Amino acid sequence: MRHGRFEESMSTLLRDYGESISFDWRLYRHDIRGSIAHASALKRAAFLTLEEFDAIEAGLKEIGAEIEAGKFTFSKDLEDIHMNIEKELTRRIGDAGAKLHTARSRNDQVATDFRLYLKEETALIEEGIRVLQRALVGLASANESVLMPGYTHLQRGQPVPVAHHLLAYVEMLERDHGRLADAAERMDEMPLGSGALAGSTLVLDREAMARELGFARVTQNSLDGVSDRDFALELLSALAILGMHLSRLSEDVVLWTTTEFGFAKLSDRHATGSSLMPQKKNPDIAELTRGKTGRLYGNLFRLLTVLKGLPMTYNRDLQEDKEAVFDSVDTARMALAVTAEMMEALVINRESVNRAAADPALLATDLADELVRHQVPFRRAHDIVGKLAAESVRTGVPLDKIPEDLIRELCPELLTGWNSLFDPVRSMKARGAVGAPSPEHVSERLAHWKKLLS
């Protein structure tokens, strides 16, 4: 098909290489919304009659309904969603359809569609975070008084409430929610009206179009308006960090559900079996989420690489922005939904975690703290308790059962009532600093999150 300055038809290879309709079709609702707002501005500026505008609006809505119903046939020859809709509109209503692209370029059109799409998707991902937070708070609330070992270097460190551990992820997810909200605020600018790169001599009311499309403001530089993809990068960055948090939570689930840990049990609905070993119950959901985090990282670096060497303004390289973003959006939404469902059905093995939390060695630091209260410098106290711990390991005698003659030799300050320190519940109550796992603080945070998430 020849048109304009070209005397030959496009190479079939180039058509197949350059088409984007196979993936950007999902922008159809946003393209139609943007086109109606643009047509409305053309009507206000007297470039369209009322009758022409009505025909355009009705035709676009009709096409949108057909796409929604799966009855619309897309053509690779028309490259993208924008031309597929515009050509079909013109075929149906004639010259009025051919007027729609007045004072508009596909450059500002796609930038507008993409922002509309991502504003909508970002809100859905934010809600997905809230759903997962609710699931975690529910599990934490059901196990508020249950203690477990807290770990550093994957070695037992000190006892903490299961609820405190789960609420750590709620805090992480809240920061993810904030990053998405920040990204949404910055992407809330309308580039429509920027034209190909320098606006148009046919001046339209951009502020009115922005209001109609629900944008907070319009872009202030036409070059930036058509070439900016910072908003997509910022979203991909936020989703990569979100994926990292989901991966860490998933790793805890993988560990907790092993026979070696035995801290939790997955529901049958959220586990898989083995094709060979009939006894297996595998945490595939958690493992998949760990793996899919790599996709979120990869998509971020993919778009960073696409953008890093582009001159002003629009370049066809920018077509490579969508698949990466679409994939990250889809991956994040699914990962949040399936993780929330998994955590809501997860069962904590209270007997197992309480037994693990009762290990006297977890309260070695409490013993050192008690020496500090007796005016022993902390480094010396640390050394003394380290020697007691080594003796416990050497002899197999629990730390709270160390012979009194060794206590008398190493730390006579503890001769009175030192065994009473080995009470995990007492230890939790003593941790009263803001952010520490005292029962009071854990209860306060549970109440806070329940109120915020209600």
Asked if the model's pLDDT at residue 3 lies above 70, the reply is: no
- For the chain, residues classed under CATH 1.20.200.10 are 107-351
- Per residue in 72-102, pLDDT (tens digit) is 999 999 999 999 999 999 999 999 999 999 9
Contact 10, 70 (CB under 8 A): no
The architecture of the domain spanning 359-422 is Orthogonal Bundle (1.10)
Q: Which residues, listed in sequence order, are joined to residue 181 by a DSSP beta bridge?
A: none
Q: Which of 2-6, 19-23, 58-62, 354-358 has the lowest mean pLDDT?
A: 2-6
Instruction: Please give the helix or strand (H or E) that residue 264 lies within, else none.
Output: strand 264-265
Mean pLDDT of the chain: 96
Domain with CATH 1.10.40.30 in the chain: 359-422
**Token match 């496009």: residue?**
10
What residues does CATH 1.10.275.10 cover in the chain?
A: 12-102
CB of 140 closer than 8 Å to CB of 446:
yes
- CA 394-396-399 angle, 5° bins: 95
**435 contacts: CB under 8 Å, gap ≥ 6:** 441
Specify whether 274 is catalytic: yes
- Known catalytic residue at 3: no
Banded pLDDT at 1 (limits 50, 70, 90): very low
Q: Indicate the pTM of the whole model.
A: 0.95
Dist. CA 243–CA 336, nearest whole Å? 9
Show the CA angle centred on residue 384, arms to residues 378 and 390, nearest 5°: 130
pLDDT band at 10 (very low <50, low <70, confident <90, very high): confident
CATH 1.10.275.10 is held by the domain 12-102 = yes
* Annotated catalytic residue, options 9, 11, 22, 274: 274
Does the structural domain 107-351 have CATH classification 1.10.3470.10? no
